[in-house]
Structures are given as C-alpha cells and as structure tokens.
C-alpha cells in the first residue's frame, strides 16, 4: 500500500477511454462499478464537449459478483451495437474488473459473432501501467487490429504510397494538453512545406480509414507519451519511418523540419523528380513569424537572463521547455523533472546538460520540497506546481497536464511550431514579470491601501455583536467572513439596530439573497 | 398511507451516471474538523476524488488514498502491517482524533477484513478507527455519507461526558426527552434548524455528525432521532436497531413546506402545539410570489443521482411546476414514507398528476424520454449537462444541491434561485 494525496497520471482505463472516445463512432463499454464513469464528467466539463461522451458502463454490482457478468457484458455490447451502431466497441476493463479475473476476452469473441460492429478488449494491466502507457498501447492495439485484418483480407495488397509527400500525425487526442491547437499548428506547418496530411489519429479519425495509414510517406509523433508504439509497429510491419522530435521551440522546430526534409527527399526524386529544401523557410519563419528569437534579444528580456526556474511535467513538455529556456532564453534551470518514471532514461539524457539537477518522481511533496529548497523566481509545471507556487509565493506557468479547465483555452494557444514559440515566450515572460511586479509592490508597501479604505468606510457606527452571533460568525469560512460581517452590519444599519443577534444575521442573509434573485 | 400506495414506482436497468459514494469524503472531512479519511482503494478511486474535489485538494485536506499495489491484491503483503504503517504515518503527520477508513469496491472483492484489522490497530495505538464501506458495488453518491454516519452511531457515547457542550439547551432542561438530529450540514445550517426548534420550545441535544469527532452526541435507549436528509436510511436503521432510539419519520426540511412539515412532526412527537409555523410558511410563499408566478406550468425532469430528488420534486410541485419524472438511485419507502405522502398530498393540492418515480434509471432511455417530453429543465449530472444544453435543453447540475445550503426556512430563496437561474427567469435579468 502507498499513501497517496495526489496523482500526476490517471488510472489505465482513462488512457483507454481517451483513445476510444477520440475516434469518431467508437464506443467504449467499461466493465466497472457504479460511479467509475467519471471520465464522462471530465470530458464534458474540461473539453466542454457538446456531444454525449461515447462511454457507458456495464455495471458491476453484488449480483454480478455472485453470478459473473457474462450475460450482462454480452447484452450491453449488443445493446450499444443496436442503439448507436458504432464502427467499433472497445470493452474497457477497470481495476475492479481486472481482479474479478473473468474471461472478458471470451465475452468479446462471443459478442463479436453477433454484433455488427467490431468488438475488441483493451489489453491492459491496471496495476502495472498508467494513463499514458495504456493510451499508447490501446492506440497501437486498434491500429494493429485494423491493419492486420485488412492485410489478411487482402485489402492492402495493391496499396501504394501517395504520389505527393504525405504524413500521418499520431497521438493527438481528447483531454490532451493543448492538443487541438497543436494539431492545427502542425497542419499549417506541414501545409506550408507542401506536405499532405494523410491521417491524424486518433482525434476525429474514423477506424475505417486506418487502412489508409500505410499510404503516407512517413509518420510524425509529436508527443512521445502516446503514439510511439503505433509508430514503431508501422515501422516494423510496413517499413514506415517516423519522426519523434517534438517541434517545440525554435531550435527543435527547425530540427523537426530538417528531418521532414530528409524523409521527404527519400521518395521525392522518385515520384516528383525533385528534392525539397526547407532552409529558407526555416530562416524566414524564425525571423519573421516567430517573434521569440527577437524577443529574447530585446532589452526587456535582459532582465530575465540568468534568472532561476524549476521545470516539471510530462517527459515531452518538461524536456522541451527546459531546452527552450536554456538554449533560447538564457534562463537558468535549477531543476528539471518529470513524473513519467517509465521514460526516465530518455528524459535524463535530454536534459542532463541543461540543468543543475534532475528529479524523477510521482510524489508532489518531493517536488514541493525541491522547489522550496531551490527558491526559483518562477516555476513551469502542472496544475499541482501552480498551487505549490501559490503557497510559496512563486509565480508558475502551466506547461503540462494534469491541468484544469483554464488550461483548455478557447483561444488559439499551440505549444508546437512557430506560433507555439510565441505562446511559450509570452508564458515565460509573463510569469517572470508578474513575480517582479509582486516583488516591487512588496518593497514599496504592497496592496495595503484597499484595507485602509474599507476600514474608513465602516468606522462610523459601532455594533454590538452578541456572544452567540460572534460564535456564529466564526463558523463562516474565513474568506467570506468579512463580507458577511460587513453585509450584516449594513443590514443592521438600515434597520436601525445596534445589537447584532443570530436572528439579525439570518435576516440579513435572507435580505441579501433576496436581492440576488 | 393511501397516497403512498397510489404512487407508481418503476425500476430500470441501473445504467446511470452518478458519483461514487467515496465522494462523501469531500464534505465530511470539512464537517468533522478533527477527522482524517483514508480511502483504501486503487488509482481509480484516487483519480475520481482528486478531480471531484477540484481546488479543495490543494488546501492540504485531511484525506488520503491508501493505494493498493499489485502485491496487496495478490495477498503477498500483510494487510494489517500495511494499514498499521500508514496509520502511524498519518498519526505522526496530522494527529487526528479519528481515522475513518473508506472501504471500496476493491477491498470488497478481495474481501479485506477492514473491521477486524481496524479494531486491532485501534487497540494497538489508541486512535479510534471507524470503517465505512462506501463502495460503488452497493451504493450511489450521497449514500456514502449514510454508511459513514451509520458506522459512527456506534461511537456515540452512552453517557453524557462532563465537559460536553450542552450550554445551548441548559435553558431548556425541561422534561422533554432528548432529540438528536442526524445528517451532515454546515454548522450555520444546523444552528438555523436548532433555532427553528427552539422557537417551538424544543431543544436539540446533539447532531450526528458533530463539528468535531470528540463532540459526538450521546445516545441512550429511548432518545428521539430525526433525519434531515432523504439518503440516511442506514443511519436511521442503525440508530433504531443498535442504539434503540425512536425515529421521528418526517418529511425533510427542504423548502418551506418541507421545513414546516418537519417541525410539525417533531412538535407532534413532543406534544407541543406548533407556534406560528403556518404564518411563517405563508409569509415565505408570499415573498416568493413574483418568482412563483414565473414558474407556473414549467416542467422539470429529474434524471436522478443523489437521492434528494423526491424532496426537491415535492418542493418544485408546490411552487407550481410540473414534474415529469423523478429518477432516483435507490428508494427506501419506509424511511421516506412521510416525504412520499407529502409528495402525494402536494400533487393533489396543486392539481397536477403524480410524477413517475424511476428507481435505478437507465440514462439512455431517459434521454429518449427527454427528447420526447422536451421539459423546460432537466436536473442531471455533469456527464449529460453540456450535451443536453447543446441540444437546446435547459439543465441544472444536480451535484450543486449537495454543496449549496438548501435546508430550513432561511435558505429557501437560495434553493429556488438554483432553479430560476437555470430557467433564466430572474426578474432582475
């Protein structure tokens, strides 16, 4: 057993559901007890989804414990098949169902005989993998299922690659950190380069189109957490090369484009009788579309040179942001870290030359201790680090999931590509200046004026609070207590009452809610 | 009795969305100030709690997960040793007056003997440990509180301790038999309800739960107990069967009609003539007139997820609303009998048909019915709220009823406000 107050990654089934519900017309059925379908709430709230999340539960209750859930799962699969006619139904085990050790595979085989849709069982061990690993695996499983099936049926035989350069983007999906914006930015970038987007999976893709995947010249995996398994499967079985560099920051974006060039030029002479050269494009974009390069040269930025920062997040974002800060912005990264323990070797290798220390942990307290020991001027981390920063009075820019609703912005905020460099520069700069402003305010007496004002306003009349009403007032949570007190006294003043009893408090409350209606 | 029989109850498949009952930790740890809640479960439970708690989690709450690892599941580690180790850590870090273990689906399935281990550890290092099995196999959402309170009834002292706080009923130390109220509400709400009863010369000798574990009310055979929430049937049963208390079966103090009926029933039990209740209720309805006028003839559909549905529907019907369907996870007809019959009477009084009551609803079927009926307002969980709204149907997020003060006369406007706001019926808009 492990004492846990907070987790950076969710349970495995969340990863499965994120992949399944990103595809179009794929339905996931969770084999789970009542209340485990919280995923639907998150998707509906965070992504502000307009459609019903295609996830239902086949409920495990006492009856199931006694009798087994065979009939129930079977019936629920066929019911969904009939009601919503999905292309694919993914039976999703949960940690509860995995200890029941029922032969879910067998249920799936049986159901797929009678269902019109394809039915598969997500093959994941709940006690060994986290959300990211499960998502990675499930995406690969679905792709493999459709491609091998198509190969068996002979559909892939006469398929060849497209005549114009094209790519698949693998790993854009629901509830991903700024994934929608990144996807748009990548599309724009590739369009600029004259490259066709063959398929983007899983977000918005149809499983029917998965057989088209091998038509692309190569694959792009923007985030290493999800998509790598699929890419290496496609490489092994279909000889498709892939690019794993995340185009985040000016240097890595340029590197990414050069790799694209290399891959394109393998086939371009054959199909198009020419080769591509993207150097002038990189040069133009770096100088004129991205303002980050210029911004970090400007006078304003000089103040930030050598400032200390701590970076923490998933492997992709934490590594990229660390490199950007050091190589492109001249900021001193005291510590870089990730919670992706399963990918720690890669992470260490990426950042070891760019920071003083490296932290690999899933324990937020360890991160908090590190931050308070290092006392950086700013933190770049997840929602948790934002709150650690709040407590320590250090500003924080959010650069990685887990995040809350404010990090699903409606406006266009990619982290990838050249527009991404602008966004990141803003984020970093704003975090630091906020800290500076705050510091200056402290030096010059802070925000005290406000308090003085309210004190003056409410000095005129004295009120006598009875013992009971004082006790009652103490019960009100601290952050609203002053407001309640002021409102009650305001009410008492109107009524010409000097002694405030509990009754007066309630009457005041009533009168104020009355105004609110 | 007759009206209860004329109500029609249906039961569907139970494929509905609700919160896991471990969510009771969210409000109970805030209510019981010296407690610590340890949820013994998996990452799934932890993920749910951390997301459902929202920002509260960053305020260093007095709750944590005992996350089961693979070796716990396969019985390679000793449950007793593991739990003991964690409880020692908690005692060192926080030193609570009580640790409440929340059993989950996983502990049920692997049949972990939580009660047995708890009693051993309790003796070992002298901190009370209460076990509540609030799992998704058996219960829905608010029923979690029910399991915790039911377990807590066993810990209420049998003798009044000398230093207990009973100053507010000192004035009333009459011959009235003791009355203990049960149900977790913010202390302002419990003070308000105490005060309402004080107006009727009835003193409340304690609340379950109390603000602190060390102040649990004392319970003796023959004490009267009364619930304030409709989901507390196990607690009521435990109080009656195990502590030999007498249950006052009343409607719940939600809405002015419910509050009046609740106080009247308590008055009746104590042979007091209700003072000025009718005037008080009428005055409130009068004050609400403008809003009620707007609500006339509007229709509401409860998808059901928190067991407050019957009381809320009864209040809305009294406001002049037509309720098409009351979905509810679980219906204890014995515990809710007074509330059900008040529902029947209210329907008759307002001349509206009695809504269908659907136990263990099926959300998919309900959405088909909502499509057909096109109600003015659907009260539902967040999973369906945005999609329904996108289809042009007004929604009210049902979880809010748990976190907004809705009990008693004082909070009626807040309660009504929740509905009028969603219907965009505010006169000030």
Model pLDDT for residues B277-293, shown as the tens digit of each residue: 999 999 999 999 888 88
* Tokens standing for residue A232: 């290496």
Q: Does B97 touch chain A (CB under 8 A)?
A: no
Please report the sign of the dihedral spanned by the C-alpha atoms of residue B192, residue B193, residue B198, residue B204: negative
Residue A435: the pLDDT is 67
Contact check, Cβ <8 Å, B20/A516: no
Q: Does B383 touch chain A (CB under 8 A)?
A: yes
> What is the nearest CA distance from A270 to chain B, expressed in angstroms?
50
The rounded distance, in Å, linking the Cα atoms of A268 and A275 is 6
DSSP A454-487: HHHHT-SS--EEPHHHHHHHHHS-HHHHHHHHHH
> What is the nearest CA distance from A210 to chain B, expressed in angstroms?
28
* Span of A139-143, A457-461, B262-266 with lowest mean pLDDT: A457-461
Contact A25, A206 (CB under 8 A): yes
Contact A114, A148 (CB under 8 A): no
Please name the helix (run of DSSP H) or strand (run of DSSP E) that holds residue A175, with its range, or none: none
Q: Does B390 touch chain A (CB under 8 A)?
A: yes
* pLDDT per position as a tens digit, B355-395: 999 999 999 999 999 999 999 999 998 899 999 999 999 99
DSSP A324-381: IIIIIH--EEEEEEES-GGGHHHHHHHHTTTEEEEEE-S-HHHHHHHHHHH--SEEEE
Q: Give B 215-244 residues with CB within 8 A of chain A.
A: none
DSSP A407-426: GS-SS---SSHHHHHHHHHH
Contact check, Cβ <8 Å, B47/A14: yes
Residue A302: the pLDDT is 80
The rounded distance, in Å, linking the Cα atoms of B11 and B336 is 17
Residue among B54, B63, B70 minimizing CB distance to A127: B70
Residue A5: the pLDDT is 83
Residue among B40, B386, B413 minimizing CB distance to A49: B386
Residue A432, pLDDT > 70, answer yes
* Span of A31-40, A480-489, B235-244 with lowest mean pLDDT: A480-489
The rounded distance, in Å, linking the Cα atoms of A382 and A390 is 13
Q: Provide mean pLDDT across the span B240-254.
A: 96
Give yes or no: A426 in active site: no
Query: Cα-Cα-Cα-Cα dihedral of B371, B377, B381, B384, to 10°?
Result: 30
> What is the nearest CA distance from B66 to chain A, expressed in angstroms?
5
Q: List chain A residues with CB under 8 Å of B70.
A: 127-128
Contact check, Cβ <8 Å, A44/B428: no
Mean pLDDT (chain A) is 89
Contact A51, B387 (CB under 8 A): yes
* pLDDT per position as a tens digit, A376-411: 999 999 999 999 998 888 999 999 999 888 889 999
Contact A205, A24 (CB under 8 A): yes
Residue A136: the pLDDT is 97
- B323 φ/ψ angles, rounded to the nearest 5 degrees: -105, 125
Residue B364: the pLDDT is 94
Residue B112: the pLDDT is 93
Task: Report long-range pairs for A344-349 (Cβ below 8 Å, ≥24 apart).
Answer: A346/A224, A346/A315, A347/A315, A347/A318, A347/A319
* pLDDT per position as a tens digit, B402-419: 989 999 999 999 899 888
* Tokens standing for residue A272: 């198009």
Residue B55: the pLDDT is 59
Residue A131, pLDDT > 90, answer yes
Q: Give B 100-119 residues with CB within 8 A of chain A.
A: 105-106, 108-110
Band the pLDDT of A453: cuts 50, 70, 90. very low
Mean pLDDT (chain B) is 90
For chain B, give the secondary structure using H, E and C.
Answer: CHHHHHCCEEECCCCCCCCCHHHHHHHHHHHCCCEEEEEEECHHHHHHHHHHCHHHHHHCCCEEEEECCHHHHCCCCCHHHHHHHHHHHHHHHCCCCEEEEEECHHHHHCCCCHHHHHHHHHHHHCCCEEEEECCCCCCCCCHHHHHHHHHHHHHCCCCCCCCCCCHHHHHHCCCCCCEEEECCCCHHHHHHHHHHHHHCCCCCCEEECCCCHHHCCCCCCCCEEEECCCCCHHHHHHHHHCCCCEECCCCCCEHHHHHHHHHHHHHHHCCCCCCCHHHHHHHHHHHCHHHHHHHCCCEEEECCCCCCHHHHHHHHHHCCCEEEEEEECCCCCCCCHHHHHHHHHHHHHHCCCCCEEEECCCHHHHHHHHHHHCCCEEEECHHHHHHHHHCCCCEEECCHHHHCCCECCCCHHHHHHHHHHHCCCCCCC
List the single best residue of B21, B61, B188 to mutate versus A (max A Cβ within 10 A). Answer: B188
Contact B406, B414 (CB under 8 A): yes
The rounded distance, in Å, linking the Cα atoms of A364 and A366 is 5
Task: Look up residue A60 and give its DSSP letter.
Answer: -
Task: Look up residue A53 and give its DSSP letter.
Answer: P
Task: Look up residue A319 and give its DSSP letter.
Answer: H
Within 8 A by CB and 6+ apart from B181, the residues are B190, B193, B204, B206, B207, B208, B225, B226, B227, B228
Residue predicted with more confidence, A461 or A109: A109
> What is the nearest CA distance from B141 to chain A, expressed in angstroms?
8
Residue predicted with more confidence, A125 or A517: A125
Residue A490: the pLDDT is 84
Question: Full-prediction pTM beyond 0.90?
Answer: no
Q: In 3D, which of A261, A367, A279, A380 has the Cα closest to residue A320? A: A380
* A202, β-bridge pairs: A172
Contact check, Cβ <8 Å, B67/A509: no
Contact check, Cβ <8 Å, B67/A513: no
Q: Residues of B281-314 as b/e, b for ≥16 C-beta within 10 angstroms?
A: beebeebbeebbebbeebbbbbbbbbbbbbbbbb
Q: Is A284 helix (H, G, I), strand (E, B) or coil?
A: helix
Q: Provide mean pLDDT across the span A112-131.
A: 92
Q: List chain A residues with CB under 8 Å of B138.
A: 61-62
Q: Provide mean pLDDT across the span A110-135.
A: 93
Range from A485-499, B48-62, B121-135 that averages highest in pLDDT? B121-135
Residue A423, pLDDT > 80, answer yes
Contact check, Cβ <8 Å, B137/A33: yes
Residue A447, pLDDT > 90, answer no
Within 8 A by CB and 6+ apart from A265, the residues are A275, A276
The rounded distance, in Å, linking the Cα atoms of A186 and A279 is 18
Q: List chain B residues with CB under 8 Å of A86.
A: none
Residue A433, pLDDT > 80, answer no
* pLDDT per position as a tens digit, B308-361: 999 999 999 999 999 999 999 999 999 999 999 999 999 999 999 999 999 999
Band the pLDDT of A514: cuts 50, 70, 90. low
Options A103, A237, A300, A482, the catalytic residue: A300
The rounded distance, in Å, linking the Cα atoms of B425 and B429 is 8
- How is the beta sheet containing A355-360 ordered, strand by strand? A355-360, A332-338, A308-313, A378-381, A396-398
Residue with tokens 């309630």: A506
Residue predicted with more confidence, A366 or A305: A366
Contact check, Cβ <8 Å, A50/B191: no
Q: Does B380 touch chain A (CB under 8 A)?
A: no
Residue B429: the pLDDT is 43
Residue A452: the pLDDT is 39
List the single best residue of B21, B29, B48 to mutate versus A (max A Cβ within 10 A). Answer: B48
Residue A319: the pLDDT is 97
Q: Provide mean pLDDT across the span A287-293.
A: 89
> What is the nearest CA distance from A176 to chain B, expressed in angstroms?
16
Q: List chain A residues with CB under 8 Å of B51.
A: 38, 41-42
Q: Does B175 touch chain A (CB under 8 A)?
A: no
Band the pLDDT of B168: cuts 50, 70, 90. very low
Q: List chain A residues with CB under 8 Å of B65.
A: 2-5
Q: List chain A residues with CB under 8 Å of B63.
A: 5
Interface ipTM: 0.90
Q: List chain A residues with CB under 8 Å of B139.
A: 34
Contact check, Cβ <8 Å, A514/B413: yes
Residue B44: the pLDDT is 93
Residue B422: the pLDDT is 84
The rounded distance, in Å, linking the Cα atoms of A452 and A468 is 28
DSSP A180-239: HHHHHHHHHHHHHTT-EEEEEEETT-BGGGGGGGGGSSEEE-S-SSSSHHHHHHHHHHH-
* pLDDT per position as a tens digit, B13-60: 999 999 999 999 989 998 999 999 999 999 999 999 888 876 566 666
Band the pLDDT of A245: cuts 50, 70, 90. very high
Q: In 3D, which of A256, A264, A276, A151 has the Cα closest to residue A213? A: A151
Residue A285: the pLDDT is 94
Q: Is A401 helix (H, G, I), strand (E, B) or coil?
A: coil
Residue A454, pLDDT > 90, answer no
Q: Provide mean pLDDT across the span B122-126.
A: 88
Q: List chain B residues with CB under 8 Å of A50.
A: 386-387, 390
The rounded distance, in Å, linking the Cα atoms of A110 and B132 is 39
CB atoms within 10 A of CB B315: 26
């Amino acid at each position: 057993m492990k004492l846990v107050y907070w987790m950076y990654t969710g349970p495995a089934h969340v990863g499965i559901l994120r992949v399944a519900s990103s595809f179009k017309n794929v339905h996931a059925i969770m084999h789970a007890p009542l209340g485990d379908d919280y995923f639907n709430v998150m998707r509906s709230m965070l992504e502000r989804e307009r459609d019903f999340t295609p996830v239902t539960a086949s409920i495990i209750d006492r009856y199931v414990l006694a009798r087994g859930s065979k009939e129930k799962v079977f019936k629920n699969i066929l019911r969904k098949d009939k009601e919503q006619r999905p292309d694919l139904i993914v039976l999703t085990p949960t940690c509860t169902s995995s200890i029941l050790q029922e032969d879910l595979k067998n249920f799936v085989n049986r159901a797929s005989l009678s269902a019109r849709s394809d039915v598969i069982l997500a093959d994941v061990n709940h006690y060994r993998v986290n959300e990211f690993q499960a998502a990675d695996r499930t995406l690969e499983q679905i792709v493999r299922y459709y491609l091998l099936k198509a190969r068996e049926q002979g559909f892939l035989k006469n398929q060849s690659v497209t005549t114009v350069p094209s790519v698949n983007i693998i790993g854009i999906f629901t509830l991903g950190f700024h994934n929608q914006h990144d996807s748009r930015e990548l599309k724009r970038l590739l369009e600029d380069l004259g490259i066709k987007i063959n398929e983007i999976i899983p977000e918005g893709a149809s499983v029917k189109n998965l057989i088209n995947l091998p038509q692309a010249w190569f694959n792009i995996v923007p985030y290493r957490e999800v998509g790598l398994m699929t890419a290496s499967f496609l490489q092994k079985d279909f000889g498709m090369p892939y690019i794993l560099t995340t185009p985040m920051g000016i240097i890595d974006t340029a590197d990414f484009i050069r790799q694209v060039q290399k891959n394109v030029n393998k086939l371009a002479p054959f199909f198009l009788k020419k080769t591509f050269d993207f150097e002038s494009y990189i040069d133009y974009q770096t100088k004129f579309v991205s303002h980050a390069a210029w911004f970090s040269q400007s006078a304003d930025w000089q103040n930030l040179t050598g400032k200390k920062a701590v970076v923490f997040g998933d492997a992709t974002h934490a590594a990229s942001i660390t490199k950007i800060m050091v190589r492109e912005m001249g900021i001193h990264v005291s510590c870089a870290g990730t919670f992706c323990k399963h990918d720690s070797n890669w992470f260490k290798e990426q950042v070891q030359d760019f920071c003083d220390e490296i932290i690999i942990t899933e324990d937020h307290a360890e991160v908090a201790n590190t931050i308070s020991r290092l006392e950086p001027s700013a933190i770049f981390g997840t929602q948790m680090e934002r709150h650690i920063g709040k407590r320590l009075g250090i500003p924080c820019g959010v650069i990685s999931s887990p995040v809350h609703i404010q990090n699903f912005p409606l406006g266009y905020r990619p982290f990838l590509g050249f527009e991404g460099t602008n966004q990141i520069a803003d984020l970093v700069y704003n975090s630091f200046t906020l800290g500076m402003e705050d510091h200056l305010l402290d030096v010059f007496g802070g925000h005290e004026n406000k308090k003085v004002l309210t004190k003056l306003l409410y000095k005129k009349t004295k009120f006598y609070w009875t013992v009971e009403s004082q006790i009652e007032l103490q019960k009100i949570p601290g952050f609203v207590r002053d407001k309640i007190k002021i409102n009650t006294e305001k009410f008492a003043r109107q009524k010409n009452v000097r002694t405030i009893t509990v009754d007066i408090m309630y009457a005041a409350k009533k009168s104020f809610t009355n105004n609110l209606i | 009795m007759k009206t209860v029989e004329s109500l029609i109850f249906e039961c569907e498949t139970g494929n509905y969305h609700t919160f896991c009952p471990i969510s009771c930790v969210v409000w109970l740890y805030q209510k019981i100030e010296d407690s610590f809640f340890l949820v013994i479960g998996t990452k799934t439970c932890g993920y749910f709690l951390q997301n459902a708690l929202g920002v509260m989690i960053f305020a260093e709450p007095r709750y944590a997960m005992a996350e089961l690892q693979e070796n716990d599941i396969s019985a390679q580690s000793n449950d007793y040793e593991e739990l003991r180790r964690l409880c020692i850590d908690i005692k060192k870090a926080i030193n609570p007056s009580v640790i409440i273990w929340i059993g989950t689906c996983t502990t049920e399935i692997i049949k972990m003997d939580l009660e047995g281990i708890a009693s051993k550890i309790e003796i070992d290092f002298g901190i009370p440990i209460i076990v509540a099995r609030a799992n998704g196999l058996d219960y829905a959402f608010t029923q979690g509180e029910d399991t915790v309170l039911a377990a807590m009834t066993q810990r209420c002292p049998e003798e009044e301790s000398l230093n207990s706080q009973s100053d507010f009923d000192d004035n009333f130390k009459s011959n009235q038999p003791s009355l203990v109220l049960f149900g977790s509400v913010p202390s302002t709400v419990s003070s308000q309800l105490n005060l309402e009863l004080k107006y009727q010369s009835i003193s409340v000798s304690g609340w379950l739960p109390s603000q602190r574990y060390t102040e649990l009310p004392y319970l003796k055979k023959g004490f009267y107990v009364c619930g304030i929430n409709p989901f507390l049937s196990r607690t009521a049963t435990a109080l009656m069967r195990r502590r030999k208390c007498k249950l006052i079966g009343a409607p719940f103090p939600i809405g002015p009609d419910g509050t009046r009926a609740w106080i009247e029933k308590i008055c009746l039990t104590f042979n007091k003539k209700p003072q000025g209740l009718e005037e008080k209720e009428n005055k409130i309805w009068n004050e609400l007139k403008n809003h009620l006028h707007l609500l006339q003839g509007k229709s509401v559909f409860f998808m059901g997820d928190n067991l407050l549905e019957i009381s809320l529907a009864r209040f809305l019907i009294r406001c002049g609303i037509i309720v098409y369907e009351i979905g509810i996870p679980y219906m204890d007809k014995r515990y809710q009998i007074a509330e059900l019959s008040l529902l029947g009477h209210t329907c008759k009084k307002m001349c509206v048909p009695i809504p269908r009551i659907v136990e263990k609803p099926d959300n998919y079927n309900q959405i088909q019915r909502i499509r057909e009926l096109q109600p003015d307002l659907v009260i539902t969980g967040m999973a369906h709220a945005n999609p329904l709204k996108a289809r042009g149907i007004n929604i009210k997020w049902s979880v809010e009823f748990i976190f907004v003060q809705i009990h008693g006369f004082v909070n009626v406007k807040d309660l009504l406000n929740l509905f009028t706001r969603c219907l965009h019926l505010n006169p000030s808009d």
